[in-house]
Structure 1
Amino acid sequence: MGRGKRGLLAAAVTVVCAVTVLAVPGTAFASVPAGPAEPSVRPSASATPEPTATPAPAPVPDAELEKVRARLDGLYHDAAVATDAYNAAEEKTRKQSVQLARLEKKTDAARMKLAELKDQAGAAARAQYRDSGLPPMARFLLSDNPQRFADGAGTLLNGARATKKLIAETDRVERELKRDTDDAADRWKKLERDRKDKAAAQKTVQERIADAEKLESRLEKKEKARLAELERQAAHKAQTAWLDSGALKKADATVTATSAGAKAVAFATAQLGKPYVWGAEGPDSFDCSGLTSQAWADAGSPIPRTSQEQWKQLRHVDVADMRPGDLVIYFADATHVGMYVGDGKIIHAPRPGRTVTIAGAGTMPILGVVRPDA
């Protein structure tokens, strides 16, 4: 091979070797002497920038979630207070409406009676006019027939008695009608006040529930789960402390429900899983006192509609002596109620967003216990 050809071949081999080395991935260049630093190269406008990773939000500390839980408890308690006020106003309007309906029937009957008495008085006046306008006394005195005189004396006496009775009856019916009319007017005023109270309570309930739902909506899914866990822990702690205090001195095995109490418990148990709706009395949803009042109504012992009236009107019993069917009243203002079912537990409708459930009787501050079938 000539010198020229050997030179070309050597050059070709050198180029191939260089390309091969550059094409091998992971090839180290540590042995290559470092040259001067090259200027940085900006990507062209057409190049797609790499996405920037969004840092995960820091988890909310338990201390902050406890504040949220306390705030939620406060809002739902305020809603419970307003719900009791709403239920009380609703009960009043119902009773006033019944009383007004009775008064309306009574006044209608009095008006008909008064019209009848006036017709009788008018008939007597027309009869007198037909007899030449002479009053019965004058005709009696002018009579010259002894028999007619005697008959007239009896007729006059009977007529005087009838007239006196007619006047007295008319006066009595008029007084009764006025009294019932005034009573109806007063009841209408009370009904309007009760309706206004009901509307104001309804507005408060809706506002407090909306505030609570808005607060809960700000929480992430994990935070809601953690909040629920904190609630369970707090409930367990409260129940354990209550049981350890010896509040239940008697063994449940020795305490049995009456037949009415057992029926009330059976009714409440059948409602498990149904949603809490404020102001509801069933059959598809309940609030706390709606559940207990309907349970005892089903057992044949109607009780007041609200937890506050249940506390006021029903007989109080010691916590240690409570039996299934008794009602446990909670909080200092008696704004929550559950039904004791034994083994230290109650069935209750907790609050908006929850369902009728079984809970420990000591998970909330107990005001006292009342017995519907005392």
Structure 2
Amino acid sequence: MVNVPNREYWQPGEEVKADKMKRQVNDFNDVLSKQDHLLIQGIDKTYPLKSGQPLAYLSIAGEPDVSGGWGKPTGTFPTDYNIPADGVYFFYAEFSPGQPPSSNATDLATSIQLRLKHKKAGQTKWDWRHLSNAIETNKYIHRDRPVHFSVQIFRSMYLRKGDAIMFTAYLGHPEEGAWSSNWAPEWKYGAPTSNRVIVWRMDFGATDYENPFHVPMPAVKPWNDGEVITAEKMNEQITNVRRALSNTPRFSVHVAASRSPGTLWDVNWDSKYKEQLGDWKFNGTHATAPESGVYFIAADVSADGSTDNVPAYVKLYLNVDGKAVTSVDKQFQRKASEQQPSAATSLQVFSIRFLEKGQRVHLSVESQGTNPAKPTASVFPANPSDGNGEFRRSSFSIHMIAPGAKSFVS
């Protein structure tokens, strides 16, 4: 793959030479049309869990499909991958292991936690940058066959060349037996269908999540036969277009503020974990689009269950200008003794939408228990007990992917 060329401007009176045109037009187009990406599918092992062994880690593995210079470090985990180039990357991971068959009927809730781990280039310490949970109570249905859970992560972050990433899963409250990850129904036509990691470089022009300064997409102007090509027009129609396409407006915030149970409320975010590029307005709940265009929107919010051992129903809404445009819901239940960070549940929403400049995007949560008048779930706060500062348990990202769009279809 062609390396990202340095950004160059044209000067008044400069002769336009082929090698500079190749760097600024051809090489840029090549990079833009082949953004570095990575696809990993499948899990490489079945892990036995026994009594007194409360947790285990599963590493997402399998042969990767890649574009770009992704590299696997030598002598470390078989599933961490070196980032090939600087940029803002979007991560999607889905993990669905099979709980072992059990001869014992139990109402013990089993939790799964998926973690995104990151290691800076030249360092040995791994940081837990994000985690997501799924929880299920299987009282009878897992006697004869594995019951599969599914947990997902959406996350946008800036990484440098040589950094490494890895996804691991924590299994809480295990039953004795072999936790399988390659159960037959997951496979169709020779490919796994429920375990995957997808990484895509969104902005190769970024020098960190909030830099360099964003240049709006200029209006496209025609080139006319016989016109004098000026340095001003070359910079506007070539250099500034490149700057706009390689460094688009983006917004990300992590860690939802703790919230007591309520029937319906807006998710409030901890602003100290906010990062953005572009003129976003943010009031702690609502993010206002700085420019018109098509945006990629992804979020997950973790909820804590009740302490009264009744089912909790939780619904997460993605809203634009106060109107719900998509939603996801989940029901879970556990005993009071199981109120702990490893037993929270996460809800994820994802959408691609055209936003007008000034439209406001926010998330809201609806919570109800068995008795609708008694809400039984709340947004779960950051957990500072991981030894690395704190978990990034919830996240909300908005990323422009089509700055020249006038609507979703044009």
TM-score, structure 2 normalization: 0.24
| Alignment TM-score, normalising by the size of structure 1 | 0.26
Query: Highest CA radius of gyration, 1 or 2?
Result: 1
- Greater share of helix: 1
Q: Per residue, is there more strand in 1 or in 2?
A: 2
